[in-house]
Amino acid sequence: MLLLVFGLSFLSFFPSLSLSQHFAPTRTKPHHRISVSLNLKQRKQREEKRRMMMKLDTSGLESFSAAVPSAMAAAEDQLFAPPSFDLPAGCADFDKFQMEAKQTLKHAKGTTTLAFIFNQGVIVAADSRASMGGYISSQSVKKIIEINPYMLGTMAGGAADCQFWHRNLGIKCRLHELANKRRISVTGASKLLANILYSYRGMGLSIGTMIAGWDEKGPGLYYVDSEGGRLKGNRFSVGSGSPYAYGVLDNGYRPDMTVEEAHELARRAIYHATFRDGASGGVVSVYHVGPNGWKKLSGDDVSELHYKYYPVQPTPVEHEMVDAPPA
Amino acid sequence: MARYDRAITVFSPDGHLFQVEYALEAVRKGNAAVGVRGSDTVVLGVEKKSTPKLQDSRTVRKIVSLDTHIALACAGLKADARVLINRARIECQSHRLTVEDPVTVEYITRYIAGLQQKYTQSGGVRPFGLSTLIVGFDPHSEKPALYQTDPSGTFSAWKANATGRNSNSMREFLEKNYKETSGKETIKLAIRALLEVVESGGKNIEIAVMTHKDGLRQLEEAEIDEYVAEIEAEKAAAEAAKKGGGASTSASS
C-alpha cells in the first residue's frame, strides 16, 4: 500500500492505552493512569477485568521485598521499579495531538508548481518529486494533469485527491460541453471545482491546484485550494518550493515574452526551487496553452539542468604534483 | 400520504397522456401571444383583455423579464406562469454564480421545459397549464433567439411563432408573410400577426421589444397606436393598388 503523498510524514505510532497495565498489574502503589472518560458500561467492564486480574496467581511477579523487611523498600523502589517511560505524545489529549499533526502537515505541500499568463498564452510548469517526510518516494510523478485538450490542472498536496478531483472536473466539463454545445470557460471550470472542494471543507482534502486554459475570452488562470479558496491571477506558484520559484519568476517576467523566453523562464524558476527546496526535484515539465490547446514543451532532469546552468569550471591547480626528481 | 403518490398523468391505452393534452386545451383558451425574431431585434406581443376600470393595469404585466437579456410571454394559466417564472429567474441568477456567465436563451428554455416535463412524470401533481415564448440574446454570440415550450416539456427554436387563442390563424399568417426583418419591420410583423385575431387598437395589445444593446422595452399605448395606424395605411394602400390595377398609389384617408 504505497502512500504517494507529497510531503506528508507517515504517522505510524498510535499509542495503545493499555500499555501501563502490562507492567504492573498487582502493585498496590498507585501508578500513573490516564484519566479516560468512560460510560457506565465501559466502567463496569473495566472493574470486572480488574477484579479478574486480581484473582490470578502473580506471586512470581511480586518483588522479593514483600518477604524482606521494609528497610530495603526504599532501595527496591529504584532497583526493581518497573521500567517507566513517558506516555506517547498523543495519549493525554488525542484531539489536540491530531490538530497539531495536521498543522505540521500544512506547509508540507512538498512540491513546486507554477503557472503564468503572458501575451502568447499560459505557461504551466512543475517538478516531479513525491516525498513522505524525508523519504523521496518517487522522482517521476506527473503533476500536470490534462483535464481536456485545452485545460490543464496542477497537482500540489495529496496526490490521490488531486488526481481524482481533476478527473472528476474533466467529466463535468465534458458533460457541460454536451449539454450546452459549447466548451466550458476556465472561469466556469474553476468555479465548479472550487464549489465542490468547499463542500468538502474540513474533511481532510488536501489540494492546491491551478487551473489554466484558453477559452473564448482568451487565456485564463485560477488558483483553487481545498479550503475552498479561488483566486484569479496572472502569476501563481504553489508548493513548498514556491518562494524560490517566485523569486526567479517575478524577476524575469515580462508580458511580451516569446514562447521560448517564457519556456526558459518557467524552467529556470522550477529548477531553482528544486535546488533550494528538498521536497522538490526530479524532472521539470513545462507546458504551453495556446489558442489551439495545450502542448508539452519539455521535460528536463534537474540535475542535468544544474550542470547546464552552472557548468563545471576546471579549477586551476595551486601546486602541480610532480614526481620527485630521480635522485 | 400514499394516496398522493399516484401519478395523475398516466398513459392511455393508445399512447396519449390525456392530462398533458388537457393542459394544451387550457393553453388554447388562454390569451393570444406572438413572438417574432428579427436580425437584431426580437418582439413579443400579447393580447390584452380589457382591464376592469378599478384594476391597476401595471400589476398585470403579461410580458416579463427573466434576466437583463431574456424575456418571456406565455399563454395559459397565469398562476402556473408565476411559479415557473420565479423558478426560471432563480436559475438565471444561480447560473451566473456558478459559471460566472449569463444564461443562454437555449439553456433557460431547456430548464423551463425540463421543469414542465418533471410535472408530467411525478406523483400527485398536474402538468403546468401554459406554453411559453422565450426571447433573448445570447451573451456571447449576440444573436437573437426565440424558443417555445409547451406543457409536455418539449421545446424548439422558431423564427416566429404564436400560441394561445387562435394561434393557428396567427401562425398561418406568419408563415405566409414572414421574411427576415430588423428593427421596426419586426415590430410591425408581430403587430400585424396579432391584429389578425385581436380587435385593433393599442388598448388591446401589449408589445415588448428587445435589442442586444437596450434590453427589454415595453411599448407605450401611443406608440402601438402609431404602428397600428401605419399598418392600416399600408393595408389600405395595398387594397387600393390591387383594385386600381397598379395605377393609383395614393394613400386613402
* pLDDT of amino acid A96: 79
User: Helices (DSSP H) in B100-220: which residue ranges?
Assistant: 105-118, 167-177, 184-195
How deeply is A23 buried, as exposed, middle or buried, from its count of CB atoms within 10 A (0-12, 13-18, 19+)?
Answer: middle
Do A130 and A159 contact (CB within 8 A), yes or no? yes
Closest to A5 in 3D by CA, of A153, A227, A161, A147: A161
pLDDT tens, position by position, B90-110: 999 999 999 899 999 999 999
R_g (Cα) of chain B, nearest Å:
20
The answer, for B99 touching chain A at a CB cutoff of 8 Å, is yes
pLDDT band at A22 (very low <50, low <70, confident <90, very high): very low
Strand partners, B45: B34, B207
Percent of chain A with pLDDT over 70: 76
Cβ contacts of B101 on chain A, cutoff 8 Å: 185, 187-188
Closest partner residue to B99 (CB to CB) among A181, A185, A216 is A185
Put simply, the answer to whether B98 touches A195 (Cβ < 8 Å) is yes
All residues at 6 or more sequence positions from A7 whose CB lies less than 8 Å from its CB, including other chains: A105, A108, A109, A110, A111, A131, A132, A133, A240, A279
Closest to A266 in 3D by CA, of A107, A110, A147, A120: A120
Q: Choosing among B99, B100, B110, B138, which should be mutated to test the A contact, i.e. which has the most A CBs within 10 A?
A: B99
ipTM of model: 0.78
Helix (H), strand (E) counts: chain B: 6, 10
Put simply, the answer to whether B98 touches A180 (Cβ < 8 Å) is no
* pLDDT of amino acid A105: 55
Closest to B81 in 3D by CA, of B6, B163, B161, B138: B163
Chain B nearest-CA residue for A189: B99
DSSP class of residue B124 equals T
pLDDT, average across residues A111-138: 92
Distance of residue A192 Cα from the nearest chain B Cα, in angstroms? 7
Cβ contacts of A197 on chain B, cutoff 8 Å: none
What the block records as the C-alpha cell of A320 is 602541480
* pLDDT of amino acid A39: 73
Closest to B191 in 3D by CA, of B202, B175, B179: B202
Which of A28, A104, A111, A112 is catalytic? The answer is A111
* pLDDT for residue B248 is more than 80: no
pLDDT, average across residues A102-108: 53
pTM: 0.73
- C-alpha A171/C-alpha B224 separation (Å) is 51
DSSP class of residue B3 equals G
The answer, for B104 touching chain A at a CB cutoff of 8 Å, is yes
